[in-house]
Amino acid sequence: MGIYGYVAYSASKFGLRGLAEALQQEVIGDNIHVSLIFPPDTDTPGLVEGNKLDTRAYFIKHISITFDN
């Protein structure tokens, strides 16, 4: 999901997903499966800084609620 104010973050997450999907296609013939996990709200300096900005904190809170349910 692309999120306002998170251009670099969203692009890197889409990049990881594309890499995992391409890798899965390459190794499926060898019965190897690829899983990709994106943990929510990982305690990092970036999350702390993002929470200081009102608009980002709003989106972080609502995205976390959406995916936790």
Confidence of residue 54 (pLDDT cuts 50, 70, 90): low
Residue 39 tokens read as: 């943990």
Token digits of residue 32: 């190897």
DSSP per-residue string spanning 3-69? -TT-HHHHHHHHHHHHHHHHHHHHHGGGT--------SS---HHHHHHHHSHHHHHHHHHHHHHHH-
Domain ranges of the chain: 1-38, 40-69
Range from 18-27, 29-38, 46-55, 58-67 carrying the lowest mean pLDDT: 58-67
**pLDDT single digits (tens) 10-41:** 888 899 999 999 999 999 999 999 999 987 77
